[in-house]
Amino acid sequence: IYLAEEGEEKLPGQIRLSNFSFPAKTTVELLGSKAAISWKAEGADVVLNIPAAMREMPPCAYAWVFKIR
């Protein structure tokens, strides 16, 4: 779950999950959206890349839930 900070009205371009790792075939999606979210490992972190179209029209206003498989 990503909770928006005060004044934050849309998803950021990237979300960093510190000290986190995914298996190679992991998929990530934003609940309420059919688009897959790309991700990459950077050191001990995972970085989610949020597409511009998804940032402009998120399925919810203040909190976003990501499904990781």
State the amino acid at position 9 in one-letter form: E
Residue 44: Cβ within 10 Å count: 10
pTM (two decimals): 0.82
Tell me the per-residue pLDDT of 9-66, one tens digit each, with 9 for 90 and over.
788 899 999 999 999 999 999 888 888 899 999 999 999 999 988 888 887 777 888 9
Q: For residues 34 and 23, give the distance between their C-alpha atoms in angstroms, rounded to a whole number.
A: 21
Q: What is the per-residue pLDDT for 27?
A: 93
